[in-house]
Structure 1
Amino acid sequence: MTDTASADPAVIAAYPAGAYHRARGTVRHLAGVLACNAAIPALRISLERDAGQRARRLRAEAADRLEQRRRPTRKRMRALVARPGARFAWHDVPAPPPPGPGAAIVHPIAVATCDLDRAMGLGRTPFPLPMCFGHECVAEVIETGDDVRTVRPGDRVVVPFQINCGDCRACRAGLTANCTGVPPISMYGFGLAGGHWGGALADLLAVPYADAMLVPLPGGVDPAAAASVADNVSDGYRNVAAHLPALLERDPGMPVLILGELGHRLPLSSSVPLYAGLVAKALGAQKIHFADRRPHLQRHAGELGFHPHATVRGLPPAPFVIDGTCTSRGLATALHHTAPDGVCTTPGVLRRTARIPTALMYGRNISYHLGRTHARAVIPHVLGLMRQGELHPETVTTHHAKLDDAPAAIHDHVVGEATKTVLTE
């Protein structure tokens, strides 16, 4: 609970005591960005390669905006912009120019919130506001360049949140999050830090590498169910699929332990841990323990067929542990609860450094995995499970709204305790 309130009393009253998140105003947000202990590593990574390309792109973006203000030549569209104080509003901005030979223009028809969106909307991350918001979507293809072969206007597609060219060595190896054709950490919906590629909560979205990026939505799969496949569902999948099958082959009845929020309150939602549990079930796990101190997450986990717990006390070490706490203390708890020859994975962290019990890990022979998802490489596998009826991400969605109502819906998601909000036409 921090800083400046930004909702009316009716919104605050809609949540249980202590469940309402307060947003940082402009001054505190900027001070927090400058003081954030994760900001320096993030900046270093974003500039460690192709810094000139990033700078040229940002300069071109600024020059284009200035030119469009002086002499508007392009059509206009609306885009949702987030500002400090959890303020969200539609802004009238220039529409993307006609696509180049290998590019496409798409129209988002189902957009989902990310677990990080709450922290970003509250001004609690290294990503400076204002920014065009949203990075998980299913879209309809509106226009394609002459060289595009895999999609055509009218197709429904999943748009990966990361930008990747599909042709560099990293992309060809399936390491699409580290595409060398664009500057590091190029993403939709992260504003300046992501390279100003725009946000998914907009009428139109430019896709620079259509054949490499866009994944056709299988017939019979609801766009609302697949909206979060662009990031969070795929993140849950990659944390599980690379490790669980081999562990189940060794012990088919082994338990899986998933940790959500255990102690220190972070302004994050917890869909990735729930998606990870669903993927574990789809891949054959029979017993999944889900620990989270929040009663509504415990109820949700129980409805999904998991064994809910408020803490990890009394639970024995498990061969496979997913640390969704995003805290240093939570990571230590996860590693201490990983069984000998077990695996612990972490979807993400918001800290610059964290201590790990290396002696314990060495003695138990624990493997620890931390990293970002290669979304484009993972998305087809996730859609395959959905098409076969083995994975149902829609069961994690807690709130629905219309895209026209995005300012209010995203604001309520950010200041409240929704796990996953999906907006559709």
Structure 2
Amino acid sequence: MKRLMLDGPGALRWEDAPEPTLDAPAQALVRPVALATCDLDPAVLQGRFPLAGPYPFGHEGVAEVVAVGEEVRTVRPGDKVVVPFQISCGACGPCLRGNTGNCAAHPLMSSFGLGPLGGLDWGGLWADLTRIPHADAMLVKLPDGIDPITVASASDNIPDAYRAVAPQLAAYPGAEVLVLGGPAAPSIGLYAAGLAVALGASRAVYLDTDPERLSIAAKLGAEPIEGAPAERVGRFPIVVEAAGGSKALIAAVRATANDGWCTSVSVQAKDTALPMLEMYSRCCTFHTGRAHARPSIPHVLDLVATGRFDPSPVTTRTVPLADSIDALLEGPVKLVATN
């Protein structure tokens, strides 16, 4: 079979590899239908995030089930499914608590398509076939009527945005939301703005300096404001930091209202001293860390299926899978490759 390999910054290639086979009764084999880039992928390809290659590429997408083991009950060949990027067994303590990104049955951070960061043995989704180790626990059937291209990023980036606004809006219905957008997590920030609108925020402000992302935010129903991440636009009960860097992180904390909730969805490569006394005085709840994607996927799909949320404006380019290398190297906001 063919699979896409990432050798390092600016270096991608297709290679021949042995086809995976079912070697346990709980497994499934899937083939890609619509694959998406993660916000981390352009950073790796452009040398902004150090992740040594070579490794099988890709961890976001919708696939078709090709074969299942004898113990698999929830999916069958022919089903279209969202493939969570993290490996989770569904039965250990963390998985049962919804913390599927920290599944205790496998090494920490086990995931598809992230090389040494997620373990090299899982393979990537940008391949003719991928083996899913825990099919019943991991795979989520695509509801009828949803275009796979629309939710190709439901493996990771859309759930990442969902966790940054959904629990908070459930606790503070109708609250105002601020998203500090930027290059660190461009699609996650945009998804967060759109989800805030879909989930009933009375106001969803998207702050960024990039005209393309500001235009997308407007299409998602958010209020775009042009400005740097540190620009003060008020205090908000819910703040999402997706810009990256220490200045944006501190600005997000300082934009959080009394008893508010600030979530950083960007990967901060350097330690940052936070204004702890300010946070203490305002009773600021701050959260960072990898999203536990699997539990959020059904909620995301329900929002799309019922017409409350349309993530498609975030996808800025769509190409055939066989022609995707050049498009990947160009680094669009969100690339989807179809098969």
Q: How does 1:257-268 map to 2 (within 5 A)?
A: 257-261=178-182, 268=184
Residue equivalent to 1:371? 289
Q: Please report how far the alpha carbon of residue 257 of structure 1 lies from its aligned counterpart in structure 2 after TM superposition.
A: 0.8
| Structure with greater helix share of residues | 1
Structure 2 residue identity aligned to 1:271? S
Structure 2 residue identity aligned to 1:101? P
Match of 2:153 among 228, 253, 260: 228
Provide the secondary structure at the position in 1 that maps to 2:172.
helix
Residue equivalent to 2:188? 272
Larger mean Cα displacement after TM superposition, 115-124 or 150-159 = 115-124
- On the 8 A contact 1:171/1:179 being kept in 2, the answer is yes
Are positions 1:82 and 2:6 aligned together? yes
Q: Please report how far the alpha carbon of residue 293 of structure 1 lies from its aligned counterpart in structure 2 after TM superposition.
A: 1.2
Q: Please report how far the alpha carbon of residue 351 of structure 1 lies from its aligned counterpart in structure 2 after TM superposition.
A: 1.9
Residue equivalent to 2:337? 423
| Structure with greater strand share of residues | 2
Are positions 1:120 and 2:36 aligned together? no
Structure 1 residue identity aligned to 2:179? I
Provide the secondary structure at the position in 1 that maps to 2:117.
helix
- Distance in 2 separating the partners of 1:241 and 1:332: 22
- Note the aligned Cα RMSD (angstroms): 1.4
- On the 8 A contact 1:186/1:195 being kept in 2, the answer is yes
Q: Which has the larger radius of gyration?
A: 1
- Distance in 2 separating the partners of 1:374 and 1:259: 21
Change over 3 Å in CA distance of 1:374–1:280 after alignment to 2: same
Q: How does 1:171-210 map to 2 (within 5 A)?
A: 171-196=95-120, 197-210=122-135
Structure 2 residue identity aligned to 1:227? A
Q: How does 1:103-118 map to 2 (within 5 A)?
A: 103-118=27-42
Structure 1 residue identity aligned to 2:181? G
- On the 8 A contact 2:8/2:44 being kept in 1, the answer is no
Q: How does 1:264-413 map to 2 (within 5 A)?
A: 268=184, 270-311=186-227, 313-413=231-331
Deviations 1:382-401 (A, max 9, x none): 11111111111112111110
Provide the secondary structure at the position in 1 that maps to 2:296.
helix
Q: Please report how far the alpha carbon of residue 319 of structure 1 lies from its aligned counterpart in structure 2 after TM superposition.
A: 1.4
Unaligned runs of 5+ in 1: 1-76
Q: How does 1:16-35 map to 2 (within 5 A)?
A: none
- Distance in 1 separating the partners of 2:142 and 2:23: 21
Are positions 1:150 and 2:74 aligned together? yes
Percent identity reads: 44
Residue equivalent to 2:86? 162
Q: Please report how far the alpha carbon of residue 314 of structure 1 lies from its aligned counterpart in structure 2 after TM superposition.
A: 4.9
Q: Please report how far the alpha carbon of residue 350 of structure 1 lies from its aligned counterpart in structure 2 after TM superposition.
A: 2.7
- Distance in 2 separating the partners of 1:94 and 1:303: 43
- On the 8 A contact 2:185/2:266 being kept in 1, the answer is no
- On the 8 A contact 1:111/1:228 being kept in 2, the answer is yes
- Distance in 1 separating the partners of 2:216 and 2:146: 23
- On the 8 A contact 2:194/2:217 being kept in 1, the answer is no
Unaligned runs of 5+ in 2: none
- Distance in 2 separating the partners of 1:377 and 1:298: 29
Provide the secondary structure at the position in 2 that maps to 1:81.
strand
Deviations 1:280-339 (A, max 9, x none): 111101311111111221222222222212225351111111111221111101111111
Residue equivalent to 1:102? 26
Q: Please report how far the alpha carbon of residue 99 of structure 1 lies from its aligned counterpart in structure 2 after TM superposition.
A: 4.0
Q: Please report how far the alpha carbon of residue 145 of structure 1 lies from its aligned counterpart in structure 2 after TM superposition.
A: 0.8
- Distance in 2 separating the partners of 1:409 and 1:278: 25
Deviations 1:7-28 (A, max 9, x none): xxxxxxxxxxxxxxxxxxxxxx
The alignment's TM-score, normalised by the length of structure 2, stands at 0.95
Structure 2 residue identity aligned to 1:280? A
Length, aligned pairs only: 336
- On the 8 A contact 2:317/2:335 being kept in 1, the answer is yes
- On the 8 A contact 2:232/2:255 being kept in 1, the answer is no
